[in-house]
Structure 1
Amino acid sequence: MATPTKATTYGSKEQYIPGYTQVRHHEWRTATNSAAYLLPVLQQKAATTPNLNLLDIGCGSSTITTSLASYLPAEGKITATDISPEILIKAQAFAEKAGVESKIHFQTADIYALPFEDGAFDIVHASMVLSHLSDPVAAYKEMLRVTTPGGVVANRESDLTAWSYHPRLPGIEKFHRCHIAVHEAAKGQTTAGPRTLGWALKAGAKREDVEVGCGTWMYATAEERAIWGGSMAERIRTGGMTTKIRELNLASEEEIQEMGDAWEEWIATEDACHGSLHRGELNS
């Protein structure tokens, strides 16, 4: 397996506290459940642009990226970037397993200094990236810069404060409060979804060129509960989130244990569900 290209500009000032090992819930994401707002535009562009060039920023494990590849025309290509060389090796392996590795080039890159020429891409896509940045406007400017005139910037972000779940276990409520506090401590944006339009305008987009929509994720089946709840239980028991909780004195060891146990109880509850709210945005 070839090693993903490492960009010379690699090295962001941001810290992704959850880390790149606890991403099982990321791998549930596909173009259908996480980029449906983009698909009609992508299909339209693919029909008129035989060599369509798509940039996927913050591709992670590449589950969204690889499913986007199926919508490309025969000569179309995706450049998939992430700040983590480690996750890109996993992403490339996933693309190879899906049989679309010839359509995707992986490389490390910093969203604040994308190593691409102005107007290099017909479509620039990012999913849940700006919410982890201290300066999303600067990042959005870079996304606009590398998009060709007449091209599309597609961005999807969540509102971390807008969780809807059942049952409302005290341990999960504590987890939610800690999650928000840790995200803020990392200088992330807890209400990114509702703010993406404002960031786009500050970055130079014109209001009449931006379409804004709303979507959700829902975890309710036994498999979905195991994916989401299992990932959250793992986060609170090990890794960067737990370290930060202890560092900030946000919870006692007993409360950390309670939070992990609450997620296990939630997974085992037949009528349990968890929903989150997202904003999808197209700028053309």
Structure 2
Amino acid sequence: MSTQGLRDTARAFNESVQPIVAPMADEVGEYFDRNHEVLTAIYRGNMHFGYWTGPDDDAGFEEATTRLTDLVIDELGVGAGARVLDLGCGIGRPAVRLAERTGAEVVGVSVSRKDVARAGETAAAAGLADIVSFQVADAMALPFEDESFDAVFALGSMGHMPDRAVVLKEVARVLRPGGRVVLTDEVLRGAALEDEEQAYILAVVAATWCAGPPTVAERYSDYCRVAGLELDDMVDITEHTKYTFSKIFEGLQEYRAEHGDLPEDMAEILEMGEGIDWDEHHSEEQTEGAVIVTAHRGK
């Protein structure tokens, strides 16, 4: 969003400067449960960033989010016979996509009961319920045995977890030696790295999505080291994902026009976007972006 517009709208929702902390698992689950129908509708099934080639790319949300799913699947490099864990599975589209493309078994987890139920329906509709399953579980305390997965992925879910290092430690525990993890995450960029007020405002915006403050990309070296993982690569994809929020805003407008109302959480997000010149926003240096992180457990 434009710098001044973001300052004005964020302050309207948070007059006093209070610490912004990451939500707990039960809060996240309740948030996604009560906003399930709206989020499912506007995201078109994939609840994460989209990937566009540039301003002239007219791909819809479903196509763009599937592109990012495919990039992560390609990075995982798994095939038939592999067992893969999806952290923050949404309604199951990425897990089903992975199984369709690779033949791998996929287990998805989420703290949203409604998402997990819908994800099971997604797998059944695709005829893949025998190799794709879902369950309610907290990524901070995974209910799986040590070394029980060949790969793990997380599409846009890390920000909803209280402690990224703890999550990655759990990932390292359930990964088999040599197993790979690929994730996407939101990070601070540009002016937000030096401007505490700007970083705080972005944390306020994240809180409206029941997410913690965006992290700094360079911290992933420490996250992985503490977890016992080896960081392989980190790619900034902001120039491709920065169109996501304008698409979400359009989706919320369309949903409100069709249904006449929005849940309070979604109405707040829509209000924060009112008056934003999205073309201007897309042309500016982005203070919040996205990265793809690839790491593995040593042998």
Instruction: Give the TM-score, by structure 1 length.
Output: 0.66
Counterpart of 2:83 in structure 1 is 53
Of 187, 196, 207 in structure 2, the residue corresponding to residue 159 of structure 1 is: 187
- 1:144-223 superposed matches below 5 A: 144-159=172-187, 180-183=203-206, 188-191=212-215, 193-206=217-230, 209-215=231-237, 216-219=240-243
- 1:232-243 superposed matches below 5 A: 238-240=263-265
Given that 1:131 and 1:192 are in contact with CA atoms closer than 8 Å, whether structure 2 keeps it comes out as no
Superposed CA RMSD in Å reads 3.8
Counterpart of 1:112 in structure 2 is 140
Instruction: Give the TM-score, by structure 2 length.
Output: 0.63
Gap change, CA 1:225 and 1:211, over 3 Å in 2: closer
Gap change, CA 1:111 and 1:144, over 3 Å in 2: same
Which one has a larger percent strand, Structure 1 or Structure 2? 1
Name structure 2 gaps, 5 residues minimum: 1-23, 47-61, 192-198
Deviation at 1:98, TM superposition (A): 3.4
Of 93, 102, 105 in structure 1, the residue corresponding to residue 121 of structure 2 is: 93
Given that 1:122 and 1:147 are in contact with CA atoms closer than 8 Å, whether structure 2 keeps it comes out as yes
Deviation at 1:18, TM superposition (A): 5.3
Counterpart of 2:149 in structure 1 is 121
Counterpart of 2:92 in structure 1 is 62
Q: 1:185-213 deviations in whole A, cap 9, x for unaligned?
A: 8671313545333311222223xx52222
Deviation at 1:160, TM superposition (A): 6.1
Given that 1:130 and 1:189 are in contact with CA atoms closer than 8 Å, whether structure 2 keeps it comes out as no
Given that 1:80 and 1:106 are in contact with CA atoms closer than 8 Å, whether structure 2 keeps it comes out as yes
Whole-Å separation in 2 of the counterparts to 1:128 and 1:99: 26
Whole-Å separation in 2 of the counterparts to 1:184 and 1:197: 25
Gap change, CA 1:231 and 1:64, over 3 Å in 2: farther
Counterpart of 2:67 in structure 1 is 32
SS in 2 for 1:101: coil
Question: Which residue identity lines up with residue 72 of structure 1 in the other structure?
Answer: T
Counterpart of 2:3 in structure 1 is none
Counterpart of 2:250 in structure 1 is 229
Gap change, CA 1:152 and 1:33, over 3 Å in 2: same
SS in 2 for 1:159: strand
Given that 1:159 and 1:193 are in contact with CA atoms closer than 8 Å, whether structure 2 keeps it comes out as yes
Question: Which residue identity lines up with residue 227 of structure 2 in the other structure?
Answer: A
Counterpart of 1:167 in structure 2 is none
Whole-Å separation in 2 of the counterparts to 1:54 and 1:96: 18
**How many residues are paired up?**
233
Question: Which residue identity lines up with residue 219 of structure 1 in the other structure?
Answer: Y
SS in 2 for 1:151: strand
Gap change, CA 1:116 and 1:225, over 3 Å in 2: same
Q: 1:142-173 deviations in whole A, cap 9, x for unaligned?
A: 0110000111111111226679xxxxxxxxxx
Whole-Å separation in 1 of the counterparts to 2:75 and 2:182: 12
Deviation at 1:218, TM superposition (A): 4.9
Deviation at 1:272, TM superposition (A): 8.6
Gap change, CA 1:147 and 1:228, over 3 Å in 2: farther
Whole-Å separation in 2 of the counterparts to 1:136 and 1:97: 33
Gap change, CA 1:159 and 1:35, over 3 Å in 2: farther
Counterpart of 2:130 in structure 1 is 102
Deviation at 1:107, TM superposition (A): 0.8
Counterpart of 1:142 in structure 2 is 170
Whole-Å separation in 2 of the counterparts to 1:195 and 1:31: 27
Whole-Å separation in 2 of the counterparts to 1:232 and 1:89: 27
Q: 1:16-38 deviations in whole A, cap 9, x for unaligned?
A: 28534232226336453245144
Question: Which residue identity lines up with residue 67 of structure 1 in the other structure?
Answer: R
